[in-house]
Structure 1
Amino acid sequence: MTVIRDVTLRDGLQLAGTVLPTEAKIDLARALLDAGIPELEIGSLANPRLVPPMAGTLDVVAALTDEELARCWVWVATPGHVRRALDAGIRNLQYCLSVSDAHNQANLGRDTETSLSALPESVEAVQAAGGRIELCLATSFTCPFDGPVDPGRVLAIARDPRAEGTEDIVLCDTLGQAIPTEVGALVRRVREDTPARRIVFHSHDTWGQGLANAFAAVAAGAEMVDGTLGALGGCPFAPGAGGNTSTEDLAFGLRPDWLTPEVLARLVVLQENLLAALGEPSRSRAAAAVRATPPVFRWAAGYR
């Protein structure tokens, strides 16, 4: 069964023009967990001066119970981030670096090799705390500054001994420019030619291929896919990137065992309330269909 991870509270919010209050973030995290979403990304330790919507991430961590945090992830990029997150109580950390040097420099202020060299220290700290760490590879397909990314570079990083101890590998279509054949081919090569880990696919829907790419990733062996409510999102350091693939669309298409028409309706209400608060439009086709479809269809609002 493919796991859907909702990343609204990190990737979804980071380009929003309105900063969501911490209490609203906590309420949203709990509502998503209560709805049955198996895993969440609840924030980032990126500098809040550069990414203001990520302010208060550690306050969200502090408010959640250990049971809730067991299903939650926080984005980190340095050993310092890791130590702060662990001290706050989070145990699931997504260590991110970019496959392309140009994007890593723009996003993190250092080249890819420097980020990779710091990974073992982060892995050691997380393992000592009894946590989990995943290796997140931004720009696995294209870079906004250098163009197409050589799949061989992705594979080299995935095979690098310094990545030993990471339990997942996240392949990110950061710009949303990949197509299903490219996604399937890369996921398959990572599955077959690199150390065994859970493969996660993180997609953006810039060219309308987000859902198709996610399904191609699953068919090729990805065990988890990321999405956001209403297809909210984007990257502040990736010009031209669109929003993420919609959580509602992923759920409707993949039909995980926790999804019922009632749960889908709850997700639609959550995204409507969130996007209204942010002043953002919904780009979820499933959410629109829930409202527009005649109630004789069991997934429609008001089904009878």
Structure 2
Amino acid sequence: MPLPPIPTPPSQVAQFPRTEETPEGCIVIDDLDTDDFLYSTYITHETYVTRALADGTELPLGVDIYTPFHDDGNMPNGEPEAGWPVIVYMRGAAFHKPNPSTFNSLYIRLAEKGYVVVVPEYRPSDVAPFPAQMQDCKTAVRYIRANAERLGIDSERIGLFGDSAGGHTVLMAGFTGDTAPDTPDYQPVSAEVKCIVDWYGPTDFAMMNYYPSSQNHAPAECPEGMEIGGVNVLEHPELSRNASPMTYLDADRVTPPTLIMHGGRDLLVPFNQSCRLYATMRALGKDVTFYKLGNASHAAYGFRSNRAVGLVLDWLAERL
């Protein structure tokens, strides 16, 4: 006889009656009943600010938003009552125009674990040097916070994550928050964040040439020289100091908990850059965690691994 349907709302799917039917030769796996990645990802794009440039033109800056969701009726929605926590990710590109989609796999890995991942475009250094990039990052934070209800996010749980030049940007934005260098966009909404993840970001331009590297980090046309206005880094120590995240650390100002990860074979950003930041933060009593991936290079040979991303996710679970 045909069987009647068994009404099963998403919250009760896991309790649906188990069948014991097992054909001969079928391999039964009984210890697998938990999903390692929970959510699908819905990707949207919108403009968060339009910048007036020095030549009189305007540059609209967009943001890609990766939102977790369940795409069927087999699971509860899972969205926290207060909204999703947020990771604003600044993609590195030697302070030039980034191609954010080159890290799509990372954004989706974060989103499938229950984070809204926000990936802003920002002004490249040949269009607007320091502090434009950090200002764009803070503007993106304010934009997301101002639109929290529409986007379904928790405005109190926003963290920053960046790699290489993007690591520098999130350190600068996270350390300064609502203080200068800043912009008036979306104020008085706050740009303060809960935590920062820095992957192999430069932290002290003037010291980069004193440690092994495949690049010369001094000339005006090098990434660091372009970032401080197209001048020689070693000939302009004050500009380099102003662009150093350590300059904006203060024992009396609260600093977001910070995770630093850097490869021991980094050929573009010397490993010592993260050592300097870590030592400064520890001396000031800041909450800082530092992982050295001993044989990793710049963005590869270790960083594109489940283990490295797992370290970030474990750390974020405690702080965001």
TM-score, structure 1 as length reference: 0.37
Please identify which structure carries the higher strand content: 2
Task: From the CA coordinates, give the structure whose radius of gyration is larger.
Answer: 2
Task: For CA contacts below 8 A with separation 6 or more, give which structure has more relative contact order.
Answer: 1
More helix by share: 1
